[in-house]
Amino acid sequence: MKEIKSLLVKLENEIDNLNLRAVGIKTKDQIKIEVDKMYAFYTLEMCKLKLKGKDFSECKEALLRTKSIYEKLKSLK
Rounded CA gap, 56 and 64, in Å? 13
Q: Tell me the pLDDT tens digit for each residue of 24-71.
A: 666 667 777 777 777 777 777 777 777 777 766 766 776 777 777 667
How far apart CA 19 and CA 51 sit, in angstroms, is 31
Question: pLDDT at position 41, please?
Answer: 77
- With CA atoms as reference, report the closest residue to 42 among 59, 27, 67, 24: 59
**In which band, very low, low, confident or very high, does the pLDDT at 74 lie, cut at 50, 70 and 90?**
low
In the chain, domain spans? 2-74
Query: What pLDDT score was predicted for residue 46?
Result: 74
pTM recorded for the entire structure: 0.45
Other beta carbons within 10 angstroms of residue 30's beta carbon come to 13
State how far the Cα of 51 lies from the Cα of 17, in Å rounded to an integer.
29
The better pLDDT of the pair 20, 11 is held by: 11
